[in-house]
């Protein structure tokens, strides 16, 4: 039995109500997620709830964000996703990118997966690797379907983003994230994961490059997930 999610940190009644309602909503949404169409709807709803919790907490705490379209520092960090987010992102890319564009993404994913495997878990945390979905203009090319971790990430100042980008080996840089904003987003994400586990499905975190490449190239991954098994088998 998993622990109940922590209570919200401020942001007003709208956040408290949304967070309280999402627990039940997420269980209903993910109960039918073995059906790919229902999984897509469940993930879209999860991402919408993360966006809503962020927006309400930012407004409630009057947080000033330094983030802007085209910044892209955080799109060089390691991104972890859950399997259902990788399947949703793969489905979105197949619908929105033509074949040559999708092939370019797949080649970038292959290169990033090779670098990630070479660096290992700890090395990857300390390396800048541009996300396979980062556009030449510094903006996300899959913004609508980006994972919860990308939605949650924010900063109140650019200084730590620039400093870590310049030297990712540093561990003395204080995060620019606002505590209540990231906490409330985490509550939504955790409730979603608990709902997925309650449905008997895999919610394990995995590197986005690894998961997305598998989701795009290996139809067995989705079948394994729907059967309640680990979606992605380490290669
Ligand atoms: S998915 Fe989009 S927002 Fe997330 S790291 Fe990649 S480019 Fe950035």
For the stretch 133-160, pLDDT in tens is 999 999 999 999 999 999 999 999 999 9
Q: In this structure, what is the dihedral angle of CA atoms 36, 39, 43, 45, given to the nearest 10 degrees?
A: 120
DSSP secondary structure of 26-59: HHHHHHTTTSHHHHHHHHHHHHHHHHHHHHHHHH
Proportion of the chain in helix, strand, coil states, percent, rounded to 5: 60, 5, 35
Is the Cβ–Cβ distance between 67 and 176 less than 8 Å? no
Cα 13 to averaged position of ligand 1 atoms, centre (Å): 31
* Residue among 26, 21, 23, 24 nearest 42 (CA): 26
Phi, psi of 134 (to 5 degrees): -80, 125
Residue nearest to atom 1 of ligand 1 (CA): 146
Helix (H) or strand (E) holding 171: none
The average confidence (pLDDT) of the chain is: 92
Note the pLDDT of residue 15.
Answer: 75
Would you call 108 helix, strand, or coil by DSSP? helix
Note the pLDDT of residue 1.
Answer: 38
- Range in 10-24, 85-99, 186-200, 205-219 with the lowest mean pLDDT: 10-24
Note the pLDDT of residue 112.
Answer: 97
Note the pLDDT of residue 8.
Answer: 57
pLDDT tens-digit readout, 175-230 = 999 999 999 999 999 999 999 999 999 999 999 999 999 999 999 999 999 999 99
Helix (H) or strand (E) holding 6: none
Q: pTM above 0.95?
A: no
Note the pLDDT of residue 234.
Answer: 67
Residue nearest to atom 8 of ligand 1 (CA): 75
List all residues whose CB is within 6 A of at least one atom of ligand 1. Answer: 75, 79, 131, 133-134, 140, 142, 146, 150
Give the angle 129-134-139 at the CA atoms, nearest 5°. Answer: 130
Residue nearest to atom 4 of ligand 1 (CA): 150
Is the pLDDT score of 5 beyond 60?
no
Cα 73 to averaged position of ligand 1 atoms, centre (Å): 10
Chain centroid to Cα 153, Å, comes to 9
Chain centroid to Cα 140, Å, comes to 13
Greater model confidence, 7 or 19? 19
């Amino acid at each position: 039995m998993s622990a109940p999610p922590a209570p919200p940190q401020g942001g007003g009644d709208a956040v408290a109500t949304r967070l309280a309602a999402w627990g039940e909503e997420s269980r209903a949404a993910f109960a039918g997620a073995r059906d790919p169409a229902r999984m897509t709807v469940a993930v879209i709803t999860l991402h919408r709830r993360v966006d809503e919790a962020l927006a309400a907490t930012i407004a409630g705490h009057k947080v000033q964000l330094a983030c802007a379209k085209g910044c892209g520092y955080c799109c060089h960090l390691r991104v972890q996703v859950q399997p259902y987010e990788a399947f949703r992102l793969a489905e979105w890319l197949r619908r929105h990118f033509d074949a040559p564009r999708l092939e370019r993404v797949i080649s970038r994913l292959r290169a990033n997966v090779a670098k990630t495997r070479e660096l290992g878990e700890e090395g990857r945390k300390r390396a800048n690797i541009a996300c396979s979905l980062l556009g030449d203009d510094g903006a996300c090319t899959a913004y609508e379907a980006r994972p919860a971790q990308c939605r949650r990430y924010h900063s109140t100042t650019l200084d730590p983003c620039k400093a870590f980008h310049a030297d990712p080996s540093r561990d003395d840089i204080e995060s620019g994230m606002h505590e209540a904003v990231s906490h409330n987003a985490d509550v939504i994400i955790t409730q979603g994961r608990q709902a997925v586990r309650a449905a008997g499905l895999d919610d394990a975190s995995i590197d986005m490059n690894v998961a997305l490449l598998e989701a795009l190239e290996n139809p067995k991954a989705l079948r394994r997930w729907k059967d309640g098994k680990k979606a992605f088998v380490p290669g």
